Amino acid sequence: MKQGQHKQTDPDPAAHVSAGSLQGYKGLTPALLTKLAKLGISNMQGLLLHMPLRYVDETRITAVRDLRSGEQAQVQGEVVHVEVQYRPRKVLICRLNDQSGQLVLRFLHFYPSQLASLKEGKQIRALGEVRSGFFGWEMVHPQYRVVGDETEVATALTPVYPTTAGLSQAVIRKWIAWALSHADLSDTLPASVSQSLNLPSFAQSLACLHHPAPEADLASLESREHPAWQRLAFEELLAQQLSMRRHYARRKHQGAPALKPSKTLITALLKSLPFALTQAQQKVALEIGRDLEKPYPMQRLLQGDVGSGKTIVAAMAAMQAIEQGWQAAIMAPTEILAEQHYQKMQGWLAPLGIQVAWLAGSQGKKQRREMLAAIADGQAQLVIGTHALFQEQVVFQRLALAIVDEQHRFGVQQRLSLRQKGGQPHQLMMSATPIPRTLSMSYFADLDVSVIDELPPGRTPIVTRLISDARRDEVLERVQDACMQGRQAYWVCPLIEESEALQLQTVTDTYETLQQSFPHLKVGLVHGRMKPAEKQTVMAAFSAGETQLLVATTVIEVGVDVPNASLMVIEHAERMGLSQLHQLRGRVGRGAAKSSCILLYQDGKLSEMARARLKTIYESTDGFVIAQADLAQRGPGEFMGIRQSGVPMLKIADLERDHELLEAARELAERWLETEPVLVDKHLARWLGHAEELVKV
């Protein structure tokens, strides 16, 4: 179908909408396919959706006498003079005459072939920025080509695409134009939907974005607010909604143990605690408890700021499984954290007669064998571990609930492999990073979310200070004061290996220096390169108050809970991400003492981004505000590891800019999933490229 002739008609659901492999077309050589792959283009849809960065107007030819300084213009004229000047430096000068005046083209770098093509008497069409030079109008390094009298001017604006080394604009334009004329561009949305949203058809939108008419509104095309852009954004968001919500709905057809509410264990556990649950903890515990009663697997994200008390909620969920004779598992991203969970769970649950097992890479062979046996025969009721829990030898007898702490630290593969053990367990994922609404509506739309939006009482707010590295001495004094008053402190260094380029101090250097500065204090050292057993010893000494100052890398970022630690110094804070800083800072302010966090930064070397990050972390302790800022600064791909999670990234839509379209897509998706299975398949095939599979059925 030709562009522009497309009418808005209801799609034929049977039509083959291929995401289209690019294999086997003449001209699409392996070398070219490799280059396209570098741009993320692997199929027809990829070509169609490779969008211009900007546009150039080659539709008009301007007479030299009408040129204006500073403007982009296209001029056509006859070459009347060519010369190479050598002083003050080598330069190729070419004069064009178009009857209304003369224009000088100036090239500071040029090839012999260029010199050969610019012959007196040839017609040249040149495009570039005009400026007024010493000898009249001139263009420096214009785009140009030799033309004949009959060479037509462009009828549409010329797209300029993102590209990669060795792939010229001309080639990429050619193949995108080819895709536009070869692919099936028929609508997957019924005309009624396009009309109610007042958006052009899929084909019209693509035609408009790749080859806009000269009178098109360039500003809205480039800002991506043009209706053509919105149409594609809506379609993409719709595909995302359809796939996430279908995934969500399908889960209800899988079986999982329906766990009756706990009658005794939870009550006994709560009674033994030195504190009462907050309202927020009670609310989320109820939500989780209800999910566990269902005969299909829960997939719930429990989100609560650092220190909000997620661990006890996890323990309550585990009790519901254990009381019915099932096993539960808790996975933590680091050994330090797994060990700490183990200690805590032992303390809470051993008095209730519950067997808690623990599995770590650092265990001896014998102990490990015993643990594996206890897990396999069901004696171990609650199992705590790191990724060691994923190993093949680990077989649960009856696993009903898998809890993943700090879920964003795990890859999606790891989460899946645990889920597969012992059939389908319920899954509870816990994270201290709040998910902004636009994200929970999109990338996390297949999960249920519970939020602990309240901290336990009696916490004093953490005071954050930004201090230039030049004032280290003051900081040392504050560390000393805190430790002399019986408090403890962390000193966090970002890297352990010497890296001159970054001028980061190594953690071992810092450790030695601090030991010398504080001869009367006990200083500990923990970093990622230590053996797990060494780490455990160091952490235990710090927990017990035997060491006062702990020098650490970011290994302590997640979960570590030492309430007596009330001061944290973070070196090179400017190099760390917002969520990471927030997590680190959350290690203090856990007890009743007034806590502070000192962010040391290298003065004079702050990038705009780093400055913005430090400002945010200084001004706010609200995890939600920080997450929003983090998302805005880094984009969704890096946020909570979404890019690594395997969920396809949005290419066209922007969650902030297009949030109204997101709402509309969500509504339509809910309706379609019920009523329009064929349209859903067709739309997903186009956008997510499962065409082959779906076409077969």
Q: Which positions lie near ligand ADP, rule CB under 6 A?
A: 275, 277-278, 281, 304, 306-312, 432, 456, 561, 563, 590
Q: Looking at beta carbons only, is 328 or 523 nearer to Mg ion?
A: 328
Residue 538, token pair as written in the block = 């160091």
Q: How far is the CB of 304 from Mg ion (least distance, A)?
A: 9
Q: Which of residues 535-564 bind Mg ion (CB under 5 A)?
A: 559
Q: Looking at beta carbons only, is 203 or 306 nearer to ligand ADP?
A: 306
- Taking CB atoms within 8 Å and a gap of at least 24, the contacts of 85-94 are 92/118, 94/118, 94/124
For residue 275, the partner it binds in Mg ion, ligand ADP, none, with Cβ less than 5 to 8 A by kind, is ligand ADP
For residue 425, the partner it binds in Mg ion, ligand ADP, none, with Cβ less than 5 to 8 A by kind, is none
Exposed (0-12), middle (13-18) or buried (19+): which is 120, by Cβ within 10 Å? exposed
> How big is the site for Mg ion, counted in residues (CB under 5 A)?
1
For residue 561, the partner it binds in ligand ADP, Mg ion, none, with Cβ less than 5 to 8 A by kind, is ligand ADP
Residue 686, SS3 per DSSP? helix
DSSP state at residue 308: S
Q: How far is the CB of 559 from Mg ion (least distance, A)?
A: 4
* Rounded Cα distance, 111 and 127, in Å: 19
For residue 304, the partner it binds in ligand ADP, Mg ion, none, with Cβ less than 5 to 8 A by kind, is ligand ADP
Q: In the bound complex, which residue of the shown chain has the CB atom lying closest to Mg ion?
A: 559
* Rounded Cα distance, 695 and 697, in Å: 6
For residue 621, the partner it binds in Mg ion, ligand ADP, none, with Cβ less than 5 to 8 A by kind, is none
For residue 309, the partner it binds in Mg ion, ligand ADP, none, with Cβ less than 5 to 8 A by kind, is ligand ADP
Q: Looking at beta carbons only, is 461 or 677 nearer to ligand ADP?
A: 461
Q: Which helix (H) or strand (E) holds 120?
A: none
For residue 307, the partner it binds in Mg ion, ligand ADP, none, with Cβ less than 5 to 8 A by kind, is ligand ADP
* Rounded Cα distance, 244 and 601, in Å: 42
For residue 590, the partner it binds in ligand ADP, Mg ion, none, with Cβ less than 5 to 8 A by kind, is ligand ADP
Q: How far is the CB of 407 from ligand ADP (least distance, A)?
A: 12
Q: In the bound complex, which residue of the shown chain has the CB atom lying closest to ligand ADP?
A: 309
For residue 289, the partner it binds in ligand ADP, Mg ion, none, with Cβ less than 5 to 8 A by kind, is none
Q: How far is the CB of 49 from ligand ADP (least distance, A)?
A: 41
Q: How far is the CB of 581 from ligand ADP (least distance, A)?
A: 15
- Supply the DSSP string of 210-258, one letter for each residue: HS--TTS-HHHHHTT-SHHHHHHHHHHHHHHHHHHHHHHHHHTTS----
Q: Looking at beta carbons only, is 208 or 313 nearer to Mg ion?
A: 313
Residue 434 binds to Mg ion (criterion: CB under 5 A):
no
Q: Looking at beta carbons only, is 226 or 310 nearer to ligand ADP?
A: 310
Q: How far is the CB of 561 from ligand ADP (least distance, A)?
A: 5
Q: How far is the CB of 300 from Mg ion (least distance, A)?
A: 16
Q: Which of 227, 189, 196 has its CA nearest to residue 684?
A: 189
Residue 284: what are its φ and ψ, rounded to 5°? -70, -35
CA 633 to chain CA centroid, nearest Å: 11
For residue 111, the partner it binds in ligand ADP, Mg ion, none, with Cβ less than 5 to 8 A by kind, is none
Q: Looking at beta carbons only, is 138 or 405 nearer to ligand ADP?
A: 405
For residue 77, the partner it binds in ligand ADP, Mg ion, none, with Cβ less than 5 to 8 A by kind, is none
Q: Looking at beta carbons only, is 142 or 307 nearer to ligand ADP?
A: 307
Q: How far is the CB of 455 from ligand ADP (least distance, A)?
A: 8
Three-state SS for 164-199 is CCCCCHHHHHHHHHHHHHHCCCCCCCCHHHHHHHCC
Q: Nearest 10 degrees: CA dihedral of 492, 494, 499, 502?
A: -110
Q: Name the maximum alpha-carbon separation found in the chain.
A: 99
One-letter amino acid identity for 443?
Y
- Interface map 435-474 toward Mg ion (x if CB under 5 A): ----------------------------------------
Q: How far is the CB of 533 from Mg ion (least distance, A)?
A: 23
One-letter amino acid identity for 135?
F
Q: Which of residues 95-114 bind Mg ion (CB under 5 A)?
A: none
Q: Looking at beta carbons only, is 559 or 689 nearer to Mg ion?
A: 559
For residue 589, the partner it binds in ligand ADP, Mg ion, none, with Cβ less than 5 to 8 A by kind, is none
Q: Which of 252, 327, 263, 325 has its CA nearest to residue 289?
A: 263
CA 190 to chain CA centroid, nearest Å: 33
Q: Looking at beta carbons only, is 118 or 432 nearer to ligand ADP?
A: 432
Q: Which of 472, 681, 586 has its CA nearest to residue 16?
A: 681
For residue 489, the partner it binds in ligand ADP, Mg ion, none, with Cβ less than 5 to 8 A by kind, is none
Q: Which of residues 558-597 bind Mg ion (CB under 5 A)?
A: 559
Q: Looking at beta carbons only, is 186 or 311 nearer to ligand ADP?
A: 311
Q: Looking at beta carbons only, is 157 or 280 nearer to ligand ADP?
A: 280
Q: Looking at beta carbons only, is 84 or 276 nearer to ligand ADP?
A: 276
Q: Nearest 10 degrees: CA dihedral of 232, 234, 238, 240?
A: 70
- What's the residue count for the chain? 697
Residue 254: what are its φ and ψ, rounded to 5°? -95, 150
Q: How far is the CB of 13 from ligand ADP (least distance, A)?
A: 48
Within 577-676, residue ranges assigned H as helices are: 578-585, 608-619, 623-634, 659-675
For residue 434, the partner it binds in ligand ADP, Mg ion, none, with Cβ less than 5 to 8 A by kind, is none
Q: Which helix (H) or strand (E) holds 289?
A: helix 279-292
Q: Looking at beta carbons only, is 43 or 340 nearer to Mg ion?
A: 340
Q: How far is the CB of 546 from ligand ADP (least distance, A)?
A: 19
Q: How far is the CB of 304 from ligand ADP (least distance, A)?
A: 5
Question: C-alpha distances in angstroms, 564 versus 283, 483, 583, 591, 596?
Answer: 29, 10, 17, 6, 12
Q: Looking at beta carbons only, is 307 or 436 nearer to ligand ADP?
A: 307
Residue 464: what are its φ and ψ, rounded to 5°? -105, 135
Residue 315, SS3 per DSSP? helix
* Rounded Cα distance, 271 and 263, in Å: 13
* Residues lying near Mg ion in the complex (CB under 5 A): 559
